[in-house]
Structure 1
Amino acid sequence: MTSSYPATLARVLALLDLLQSRPVWSGTELAERLGVTTRSIRRDVDRLRELGYPVNSEHGAGGGYQLGAGRRLPPLLLSDDEAVAVAVCLRLAAGGTVEGLGEAAVRTLAKLDQVLPARLRAEVEGIHESVITLDGDVSRVDSRTLLTLARAVRGRERVTFRYAAPRGSSDRRIEPYRMVATGRRWYLLAFDLDRDDWRTFRLDRMSDAVATGWRFAERDSPDAAAFVQRAISIAPYEHVARVRIQAPFDVVTAQLPPSVGTVTADGPRHCVLVSGGNHLDAMALYLARMPWDFVVLQPPELLEAMRRQAERLLRAAAAS
């Protein structure tokens, strides 16, 4: 009897897989697919019900077996890729990237981690370590692209993809190093093989990402968080401002998103913000919205923009 148990369990799981694949199956169809009698199918259906799966059955023409919605969540049947995807998402939620889900994600992740095979647990750990989160307000990205890149980062595997940049689309060949989530977007730090330099890529601008199978030797890479932060807050912009804020470093960084710019401590009560922008007037208005007093260190053109905006606001206040 013990020797037949694994076969019975495998058949029950195969039955569950079939019931999930389409709305209704007849008993005869299931018996033929699994190579057993309809009586065995009825017994296996009863076993699924004992496990908590609500299997509905109807007799007569047009009847059959149907997997319904139950009052409690039964054990899940997941493929390797599905288990890894669920675990990675739970890791991100547990880290606070999804508001309100942290505590529940930690509990669920603990349960899933107990039953994951060692090889899948190692893959989840590797993918999680390949991702850096600067803040929790992250936008939705294509899960296939995310997993392809995360696995390539872990396995040091070259990747090709189509990239839609503001100046046009192009095919890219890269060596991926780290993914960074910040400012409602995902970014990839990678070494661009065609441009022979480090680059930052937005995941929402990628398509057709494919791991090539070619391994690469690890290079001396820049700090991923600092590189991406500079790339998205300073490098692409026409103007770069340096502002001395009259507030401690910890206070400012707790309220200012990393995508705005880089902040460095300047003594115990002050810090310096370096931020980029294409329009000085817009930069002046953004700085005015900050809750702290500040002094503009550079550029002098920003001071002129602040005066213009101050005069405009005063005229509006007087007219009102």
Structure 2
Amino acid sequence: MVTQPQRVETLSHAQRERLAYIDFRLYFFGEIGRPDLIERFGVAPAGATRDLALYREIAPQNILFDGSHKVYRIGQAFSPLFEHAPQRVLSALAHGFGDGLNGPARPLQPLLPCESPATLSIPRMDVLAPVCRAIHAMRPLAIRYHSMTSGETERVIVPFALVDTGLRWHVRAFDRKRGEFRDFVLTRIEAPALLDEAPQAHERPDHDIQWTRIVELEFVPHPRLERPEIIERDYGMQGGSLRVWVRAAVAGYMLLRWSVDCSPDHRLTDEQYRLWLADPLALYGVENAKLAPGYQAPSGAKKR
């Protein structure tokens, strides 16, 4: 007997995408009609009807036809046919589905009323595109860079990854000027130009110790809070704590974004600090630990 997942796997990529959209609309909106498929994928009415019939054939318990309103509604025994990643779902609900054609004439719209903090630091596309090409092609990139300490300088970097800190985007790269791996804020880059050469062995990401090192961090509800069980629920904690594993190169940014009190004596008492880093020594050797709220370098540690 062919199971639902096996049946789905035999379909074309385009068919799976349309069925996943039907699954999504039923799961999060409780209904879907032919116009939804026609608008999203540009299929003909007959094609939309076939997709709905196919979904109904594969997962009959998930979908019921409401003839009076000519829409399909979620079945009482609904069980998602596809796995819907929470981050993608939330992004789609807040910003709509992207199809590469959005622009001033066709802006993306949220699927439900949703408000998100405004993004204040947005990279220019004529900078982001060549940076992405350099990462993909594994090529050095000549840039002009505006630094808080050095002002405007010309540099050659070897980029290998983009990083979203939650407040801004930067690129992780080897900096030939400094001879070390560093973070470069995308909005501070100008005139990027790919160089037709391969990076040296020591410029490759496997030589970036901060990037390859994985740090284990344990978060607990902040000791000042009277109802720690609520924080445990907020973060899905097991046994009163939450363990995460993160690259050392991004640990400081993450702790700053999540407002984690990293002081050894949980001294930060402002309202935004709901989590405490149970073992601040876990940040030993993490170069950007100075970004972590309340962090204190262990006595005897060398300062960079």
Q: TM-score range by the shorter chain?
A: 0.3 to 0.5
Q: Which has the higher helix share?
A: 1
TM-score, length-normalised on structure 2? 0.38
Larger radius of gyration: 1
TM-score by length of 1: 0.36
